[in-house]
Structure 1
C-alpha cells in the first residue's frame, strides 16, 4: 500500500548543493500519480469484493509499492542532495501521515471484533493487532499461511501486511540511500538498478519453495510454501520499490510522443494484469512483473497529456488522494460483514458494503487523515506513536484469551466459549506427519491415511480400538493421498505432504498391513490437485466429475493391496460460530448445505459397484432428514470449528469404523 505523499513531503527549502552532487528533478505534485493510486486501490477493492473480472486485482499492491519507491526515493534523495536530510524529520512526517488513520482503523476494528468475534477468533485478532501495531504483521501472516490458518476472510487486519512491508522499507531505505550517496555520489542509479534486478532474481529463486542453498536445513521448512514466502516478506518486494526508485535518476526521452506511447503501454499492461492475472495459476514472479513494469512506465511518462487524462481527471484524482483511508477501511468492512452473515455477500450486499467502505474512507480522510497531516493533531508524532503502541499492546494483551466471558451459556457447552477448553476437546492425538499408536504388539496393523479429516479421529481410534489394533498414521493437513494426483499447494507440494505420502508408501511396501482407513475432506480439493508426473493442474469444480476422479485415483493407489479399504466421508459442515460468538444483537445463522454429501454418496455408489471399498459416512450418524446436530446428548460440541470434529463427534463415528474393521478382519481370518 503506497502511503507516500508529495504534498506533505516537500524538502525544507533550497540549500547549496554539495560539489559533484547529481541534480534531482524538482518535486512537484502530479495529478497522474494520484490517479495511479486510484487505479491501484480500486483494483484491490474490487478484487476483495469479489467483483467479476478483477481476478488480478491483487496487482494493485505491486503498483502501490512502485509508487512508494519512486516518491520516497525522490524525497529523500532531493533532501540529501540539498544537504538538509534529517532521519528524525523523515520519520516524524511518516508518522504524521500514516499513524492517525491507521490507529483509528485498529480502534474501530477492535470494537467490531469485541462485538462479533468468537473467543478463538478473538485470540487470533489479538495476535494480529499486536503484530500490526509493531509493523510485523506480514511476518505473522506468512507464518500462519498454512492449512490450519484461519480463513483469510475472518482476518480483519490481514491487509496490514502491506503496511508492515512499507514501514520496514521506510526503516531501511533512507539509511541505505544515505550510504550509497556517500559512497557513490553520481552513481546511485546503478546500485539501485542492481537491487531491482537482484530482487526479481530473489523471487525466481524462492518462489517454488526449494531454494538450493537452504536444502536440507530447518529454514527449508519455513519457505516450503514459496508463494507465501515471496508474497509477504519485504526482501521479495525490493524489486517493486527499487524499480520505482530507479526512475528518479533515469533520463526521460525528449519526445512527447514517446511519453504518450510509454504511458499507453504502461496503462495497458496494468489493466491486463488486473483483468487477466490469476494469483493461483502463474508463478509469483510473473504475477509481479506486469504491474511493476506498467506502473514504472506510467510514472516515467511524466509528460504524457492525452493518455494520462484517464488518471488526471478530478474524480479519479480524488479517489487517489483518499486511497490510503480506503485501503485501510475496506477490508475490515468486508470481513465483519461476512462474519456477521456467515456467508459470502450477495450482489446487493456487496454493493452496500462497497458504498459503506467508501463513505467511511471519505470521513476518515477529511476528519482524521487531513487534519493530522496538516499538523492539527492532539499530540506530536513521536508521542502519538508511543501512545498508540502502548495502547494497542495493552488492548491485544487484554484480548489474548479470547474474552470468553462475552459468550453466554450456549447449548453447545461451555467448552466452546473457552479457547483453552476448546483445544482440550480436539479429536487429534497431535501426531506430526506420521506416527504409530494403539497396541504396537498387535499383528493387526491398520494403515490410517489422509488429511486433517482423518487426524480428528485419531484420539477416538486409540480410545476405542487401541487394545485390538496397531495403527500406523500418515496424515498431513490439506494433503491429498492418491496414485496419480497430488495436492497443488500454491504451485508446489509442501514438505509435510511429501513426508506423509512417502511414509505411507513405505509402510505399504513393507507389507503386513491388514486394512486401510482413508479419510479426506473430499470436496476441499476442487482446485487443489495436479498430476504427479508433470505438475499440470487438474481443476474439477464440478463435484460430479471431481469425486469419481478422486475415487478412481485412490483405487489405483491400493490396486495391489488385497485387504479391506474403508473410506470415510467428510464430516458435514456446521455453523459453529453461531453458538460461540457474542449475542449482543441477533444475527442470521444459515443452515449448512448437504449437497456435497449427496454428490459424494452418488459417486461412491457408482464406484463401489466395481470395487470392494466400503464407506463410513458421518452424515448418517450426525444428521437427520431435517437437520445436523452440533452437540451430543450431554450437550458437548461435536465440532472444534466449522468442519473438524471434536473428540465427542469422533466418538460417534469411530465405532462404525472399528466395527467394520473387526467384521472384515474376522472374515479374512476364516
Structure 2
C-alpha cells in the first residue's frame, strides 16, 4: 500500500518512545551538558497527545473512514517524534559520558519486542486458519522480513502488479518498524561522531542531513535517476514513489528534522509558543483531511505533517493550543498508540480476507473498537509488565528466542501447508503454490518480445497489461505456427491515445518501453491485426491525461468504459484492419475455494455488473458513426465470461480438476486454452476475408 501506488494504496507508521516523555530542560543552544545533571525532568504529555493524533489518523485511514484520506501522514508525525526523542536521550547520555550502545538497544528491545512478538504470534495463528497456500507462503516470507527488520525492503521489492493486494498483507505495517530499527542502528553512532566534530554547532550538520534526504526524495520520486539511468540498478527504482515511501534514506528527512529540534533554541515568548502549536496542528490536520494517496508528489506531501509536528514539538510551553493534546483521553491514547498500531492492521486484513469484501461501515466501527480493546489489554498485560522487569527472559534472550521461533514458523509455511485445504481443492493445482506458478499463462517477456512463426507475413500486434500477457503461452501453442506475434506488455499500464495510468507526471520505465515499442511496430507497417486486452475496470480513478497529467476520475462504469474505448479507437485511427479487444476475465473468488477447512465461511456470489457494463459500452461503441466509417479499424470483442461462465455459475477448475486461474482475476494456461481458440478463429476469419477481397478493397468492410 504506498502513498502513490498504489501502491498501493496504503501508508503506515509505528511510534517508538522511551519509557516516558521525560526530558530535561534545555540548556545552551549548542550543548546539552548543562542539563545532564538537572533534576527538573518533565513528562511532555503533549507528545503523547501528538501520538494519539497520528495513530487515529492511520487507524481511520485504514478503516476507510470518510474524511481521513490523508491519514497515512501519521507516519511522518511518528518518525519526527522518534527523531526528536531518541536524539535527545542519546545526545544527553553521550555528553554526560554514560552512553552505552548495548544498553540503548536493550531498552529499545524491552520497549518494542514484547507487543511486536505478541502481534506476530496472533497473526501466525490467524494466517494458518484463514490463508490459502499461496497467501500463507507470502505471509511466511513477510514474517521473516519483519523479524529481521527489513520488511520495508521486502514490501518495496514485492510491490509489483502481480503482487498480492496490499489489504491481503497483514504484516505490511511492520515496514515502518523496520525503518525505525534501521534508524536506531545508525543514528547513535553518527551522533557520537557529529558531537565530537561539532560540539557547539550540532544543528547545522543535522539540518544538512535533512536537506540532503529531502533532495533525495526529489531525485528518486519519479523513478528516473540520472546517475543510475544507464545501469541495471535503474530497474530497482522504476517505481519512484514506492522507493521514497519505503526506504530509510528518504525518511531520514523526518528523523533529522526532529533531531534538529534538540539543539534549536526555543522562542522566549509564550505567544510564539501558542502560535507554533496552533499552526502545527493546523498543518497536520490539513494533511490528514486534504491529501490522499494520489495527490501531489512525495517530496511536497511530506512537508505539511513534518513541519507541523516539528512546530508542535518545539512549542512545549503552549497552554491553550496544547489542551488539544494534554487532555486525559488523548494522553492515554498516546500511551497505547504502539500496541494500537500493531493490532489494528492485521485485524482489518484478516476480517476482510474472511469476508472476501471490504468492511461495511458497522463492521469498520466494530473492528476499530476491537482494536482499542486489544491495544489496552496488550499495553497493560504485555508491554507494561515486561518493561517493569517481569519478563521471563531479558531483552537479548527475547530477541534471540523470537528470531529463532519465527524463522522456524516461516520455514514451515514455505510450502503453503496445502494439507489444511478442504477436500474439494486438495487434489488440484490450487493446492500447491509451486504448481500455480507452473501453470501461469505468461511467456514472461520483459516489456516486449516477438514469438510464434517469425517468418510468417501475418504479423499480429498484441498489446495490453498483465491481462493480455496471461494469454501469450496459449497464443504460442495454438497460433504460433501460422502467426507472427509482436507483444508489447506492461503490467498495470493502460494503453491508449490520450490517457495513461496515473503516475503524477512520471511514466514508469516499463510502461514507456512497451508503449514506445508498440508505436514503432505500428509505424513500421506490416501489422495485419491487433489484439488488445487489459483489466478494463481496474483503471477506474487511476487514469490521467498524457498532455498535462491531469487526473481523470470516472467512478461511473458506463462513462469509464465509453471513454476508454473511444481512446483506444483514437490510438488505432490510422490502422486499417481488425482490432480484437479482449474483455476481462470474471473474478474467481479463488480464495473461497482455497481456504482451509478449519474455518467454514460462505462464498459470496461474484458480481457481473462490470461485465454487463462493458458489453453494453462496447455495443454502443461499435455502433458509433465514426467506427462505422469504411476506413476505421474493425473492432471486435472476445468476452472470457462467455467461455468461463456458460451457465449462471463461473468455473474455477476444468473437468480434469486443473485450475483455470492463478489468482483472483488472472487465468492460468488452462483457462487461456479455453479462451484463445476464439481469438485464433477470429484472426483466421478476418485474414481469410481480407485475402479474398481485391487489393483496392482490402481495408473495407
TM-score normalised to structure 1 length? 0.97
Match of 2:653 among 607, 619, 631: 631
Q: Distance in 1 between matches of 2:102 and 2:244?
A: 31
How big is the shift at 1:633? 2.2
Q: 1:440 to 1:171 in 2, by over 3 A?
A: same
**Which residue of 2 is the match for residue 196 of structure 1?**
210
Q: Map residues 20-419 of structure 1 onto 2, 5 A cutoff.
A: 23-24=34-35, 27-410=41-424, 414-419=428-433
- Given that 1:487 and 1:530 are in contact with CA atoms closer than 8 Å, whether structure 2 keeps it comes out as yes
Distance 2:129 2:204 in 1: 53
Residue 7 of structure 1 corresponds to which residue in structure 2? 19
Displacement of 1:5: 2.8
Whether the 8 Å contact between 2:79 and 2:255 is mirrored in structure 1 is yes
Give the alignment partner of residue 655 of structure 1, picking from 677, 680, 692.
677
Q: Distance in 1 between matches of 2:622 and 2:229?
A: 43
Shift of 1:490: 5.7
Q: Distance in 1 between matches of 2:152 and 2:608?
A: 37
Match of 2:462 among 448, 452, 477: 448
Secondary structure at the counterpart of residue 410 of structure 1: helix
Deviation at 1:491, TM superposition (A): 4.8
8 Å contact kept, 1:412–1:636: no
CA contact (8 A) 2:15 2:51 kept: no
Cα deviation per residue 1:328-379 (whole Å; 9 max; x = unaligned)? 0000000000000000011111111111111111111011100111111111
The offset of 1:69, in angstroms, is 0.4
Give the Å deviation of 1:644.
Answer: 0.3
- Contact 1:445 1:471 survives alignment (8 Å): yes
Distance in 2 (CA, whole Å) between partners of 1:34 and 1:20 is: 26
Structure 1 residue 561: Cα displacement: 1.1
Give the distance between the partners of 1:662 and 1:607, measured in 2 at CA.
Answer: 24
- Over 3 Å counting, the alpha-carbon distance change for 1:444 and 1:173 in structure 2 is same
User: 1:456, 1:644 within 8 Å by CA — same for their partners in 2?
Assistant: yes
The answer to which of 214-223 and 454-463 deviates more is 214-223
Matches of 1:75 and 1:224 in 2, distance apart? 38
Task: State which of 412, 424, 446 in structure 1 corresponds to 2:438.
Answer: 424
Q: Pick closer, same or farther for the CA change 1:517–1:465 going to 2, 3 Å.
A: same
Find the aligned partners of 1:135 and 1:626 in 2 and give their Cα distance: 48
**Stretch of structure 1 that moved more, 224-233 or 485-494:** 485-494
Q: Do the aligned partners of 1:23 and 1:81 also contact (CA within 8 Å) in 2? A: no
Q: Any idea what SS the aligned residue of 1:325 has?
A: helix
Change (3 A) 1:529 1:359: same
Quote the Cα distance in structure 1 between the aligned partners of 2:131 and 2:570.
44
What's the CA shift string for 1:411-446, capped at 9, x where partnerless? 585210100111111111222211111122211111
Contact 1:412–1:630 (Cα < 8 Å) also in 2: no
After superposition, the C-alpha distances for 1:267-301 in whole angstroms (9 at most, x for unaligned) are 11111111111121210112110000110000000
CA offsets, 1:489-509, max 9 Å, x none? 465221111111111111111
User: Which shifted more, 530-539 or 47-56?
Assistant: 530-539
- Whether the aligned pair in 2 keeps the contact of 1:8 and 1:373 (CA below 8 Å) is no
User: Does the CA-based 8 Å contact 2:276-2:311 persist in structure 1?
Assistant: yes
Q: Is the 8 A contact 2:21 2:44 kept in 1?
A: no
User: Unmatched 5+ residue regions in structure 1?
Assistant: none
Structure 2 residues not aligned, in runs of 5+: 1-12, 628-633, 693-701
1:599 deviates by 0.9
Measure the CA separation in 2 of the matches of 1:412 and 1:492.
Answer: 45
Indicate conservation of the 8 Å contact 2:194/2:202, yes or no: yes
Match of 2:635 in 1: 613
Closer/same/farther in 2, CA of residues 589 and 99 from structure 1, 3 Å limit: same
Q: Are 1:6 and 1:28, in contact at CA under 8 Å, matched by a contact in 2?
A: no
Aligned to 1:515: 529
1:544-591: CA deviations, max 9, x gaps? 111111111111111111111111111111100011120212112111
Of 234-243 and 142-151, more deviation after overlay is shown by 142-151
Tell me the number of residue pairs that the alignment of Structure 1 and Structure 2 aligns: 666
Q: What are the superposed Cα offsets for residues 198-243 of structure 1, whole Å, 9 maximum, x if unpaired?
A: 2212111211111222222222221111110110000000111111
